[in-house]
Amino acid sequence: MGHSVYLDHASTTYTKPEVLKEMLPYFTDLYGNPSSVHRYGREARKALDQARERTAAALNADPNEIYFTGSGTEADNWAVKGTALANSKKGNHIITSSIEHHAVLYTCKYLERNGFEVTYLPVDEYGLVDPEQVRNAITDKTILVSVMAANNEIGTIQPIGEIGAIAREKGILFHTDAVQAVGSIPIDVKEMNIDLLSLSAHKFYGPKGAGALYMRKGVKSEQIMHGGAQERNRRAGTENLPAIVGLGKAIELAVTDIPQRNARLEALRNRLIDGILSTVENTRLNGHPIKRLAGNVNFSFEFIEGEALLLSLDIKGIAGSSGSACTSGSLDPSHVLLAIGLSHEIAHGSLRLTLGDRNTEEDIDYVLEVLPEVVQRLREMSPLFNQNKGGRTYV
Amino acid sequence: MYSEQVMDHFMNPRNVGEIENPDGVGEVGNARCGDIMKVFMKIENDIIVDVKFKTFGCGAAIATSSMSTELIKGKTVDEALRVTNKKVTEALGGLPPVKLHCSVLAEEAIKAAIEDYKNKQAEKQTADSI
């Protein structure tokens, strides 16, 4: 007992102590409103500006192209709805992928109910979008292409540079949801022809409650949040300054040593993947074997259900997540796992383990010790599992 | 999110397994939805003398399978038919609303096994009378 292994960093990360340290004065001492004229306001404004500069530098953007939001979800909503509304005279067609986060997918569904047309591009078995399919889907009504930089469930890294080049060539706006990618893959909005990009602080060791939307200068977009002059009149609401300060510090740290951090995470990740594949039968790795986030592991275990697996692991001190329906509150398992061609049955038995900077080899070895037993226990209870045959065909 | 009783029945499920030559078998749910419960019964003189289950599903599905089999073990068939999903849920100290369907599934699995038993009895009687 006493083990505590957190492997759910794609859900959220802890806040790094050096990030928290920079945030704290903005709760108790430097609590001014950045919009105020007085000294308190000016101090707060200075901190807001610095966070904006740091965020811009991390993406190779200009500071006045960064707009802070309350979350990555808000940034996605704003990117998609804002550009759709502002460009509706030009056209009403949006291209996205079938494996986007719901913040993009459900926003697209909402727009469909309001006169827009959306193409949801399929992905291959590894979850990759084909840039040529993006090109072929473009019509004279297309106003926006939105494809995520990396997938939150299976970790597949998309060819956003290629997609960005196609969109730019055709004069169509390109948005990428980079919530999972920032700090894990280098991003250069100029080189990659990105017009809009969403990010969220709590995915890269910053606090919850702060996100940002990068919007290239000149991009036409409607406001979603009305009622104040904040963020250069484009996003009303008093800034969550402590969290934004944290975002600024966290993104600075996150992009400084990507190769070294990735090398460490990849070694741990591969140890986990190889270990699972060699100890548990009837198992498949979901996502791309190479083009995947350094910390992402996603498996399907046949004959068992993901929530039961998560509960069992939790009792052993291991925190993970699943694409099972039972963890989503709906009857359908993850749309991402279905989009890469998994049957419902296999998708229900998925487990996502996402590594972070504090994980160690000991953590991985502990998982490899516990997981096979846990899977076996559940399989022995499952009517789908036949010990002699190793399983039965699904009904 | 789960009560202590649910966690207990999930971690230490009662009556897991299969019965050879059962008098009644019921299987409900489907893999597509992520829940399958299969219940096996040994019935003598209309009394459920043994019951086992196998379940593919979430924590609540396993716990409701375990609890429902406990509630009917040693009972008459008629008594077992009166074990509702509500009784199973109560015995488990409640279930989260999204998991109530698991208790429905448990009730259905028991009813399906008893129906199977009754059908087999009817067949036997028909065979005997011929």
Chain segment A199-245, per-residue pLDDT in tens: 999 999 999 999 999 999 999 999 999 999 999 999 999 999 999 99
Distance of CA A306 to CAs A3, A22, A300, B93, B120, Å?
21, 39, 8, 23, 36
Question: Which residues of B form the catalytic set?
Answer: 33, 102
Question: For residue A326, what pLDDT is reported?
Answer: 67
Total beta-carbon pairs less than 8 A apart between chain A and chain B: 71
Please give the domain boundaries of chain B with CATH numbers for all domains. Answer: 4-117 (3.90.1010.10)
Cβ–Cβ of A395/B30 closer than 8 Å?
yes
What is the rounded CA–CA span in Å between residue A115 and residue A161? Answer: 30
Our CA angle for A328, A266, A335, nearest 5°, is 25
What is the rounded CA–CA span in Å between residue A306 and residue A314? Answer: 12
Q: What is the dihedral of CA A232, A235, A236, A241, to 10 degrees?
A: -80
ipTM of the complex: 0.94
Which among A225, A158, A206, A221 has a CA at the least distance from the CA of A58? A206
Q: Least CA distance to A325: which residue of chain B?
A: B34
Question: For residue B46, what pLDDT is reported?
Answer: 95
For residue A163, pLDDT beyond 80: yes
Chain segment B67-90, per-residue pLDDT in tens: 999 999 999 999 999 999 999 999
Q: Residue A387's pLDDT band (boundaries 50, 70, 90)?
A: low
Chain segment A70-124, per-residue pLDDT in tens: 999 999 999 999 999 999 999 999 999 999 999 999 999 999 999 999 999 999 9
Chain segment B90-110, per-residue pLDDT in tens: 999 999 998 998 999 999 999
Backbone angles phi, psi at B20, to 5 degrees: -75, 140
What is the rounded CA–CA span in Å between residue A248 and residue A48? Answer: 9
Q: What is the mean pLDDT of residues A296-314?
A: 96
Sketch the domain layout of chain A as residue ranges.
17-256, 258-381
Rounded to the nearest angstrom, the minimum Cα separation between B89 and chain A is: 17
A305 contacts chain B (CB < 8 A): yes
Q: Residue A324's pLDDT band (boundaries 50, 70, 90)?
A: confident
Which among A121, A142, A150 has a CA at the least distance from the CA of A133? A121
Q: Least CA distance to B35: which residue of chain A?
A: A305
Question: For residue B130, what pLDDT is reported?
Answer: 72
Backbone angles phi, psi at A354, to 5 degrees: -120, 125
Residue B48's Cα: distance from chain center in Å? Answer: 11
Residues 6+ apart with CB under 8 A from A217: A62, A64, A65
Residue B35 near residue B58 (C-beta atoms within 8 A): yes
Backbone angles phi, psi at A122, to 5 degrees: -75, 170
Which among A313, A320, A322 has a CA at the least distance from the CA of A370? A313
CATH no., domain A258-381: 3.90.1150.10
Question: Which residues of A form the catalytic set?
Answer: 326
Other beta carbons less than 10 A from residue A36's beta carbon: 13
Which among B53, B70, B62 has a CA at the least distance from the CA of B18? B53
Question: For residue A91, what pLDDT is reported?
Answer: 98
Q: Mean pLDDT across chain A, nearest whole number?
A: 95
3-class DSSP state of A194 = coil
B96 contacts chain A (CB < 8 A): no
Chain segment A112-162, per-residue pLDDT in tens: 999 999 999 999 999 999 999 999 999 999 999 999 999 999 999 999 999
For residue A1, pLDDT beyond 60: no
Question: For residue A328, what pLDDT is reported?
Answer: 59
Residue A137 near residue A60 (C-beta atoms within 8 A): no
Question: For residue A393, what pLDDT is reported?
Answer: 46
Q: Residue A389's pLDDT band (boundaries 50, 70, 90)?
A: low
What is the rounded CA–CA span in Å between residue A324 and residue A315? Answer: 18
Chain segment B28-58, per-residue pLDDT in tens: 998 888 899 999 999 999 999 999 999 999 9
Question: For residue A327, what pLDDT is reported?
Answer: 62
Other beta carbons less than 10 A from residue A44's beta carbon: 23
Residues 6+ apart with CB under 8 A from A257: none
Q: Which CATH class is domain A17-256?
A: alpha beta
Cβ–Cβ of A395/B16 closer than 8 Å?
no
Chain segment A171-194, per-residue pLDDT in tens: 999 999 999 999 999 999 999 999
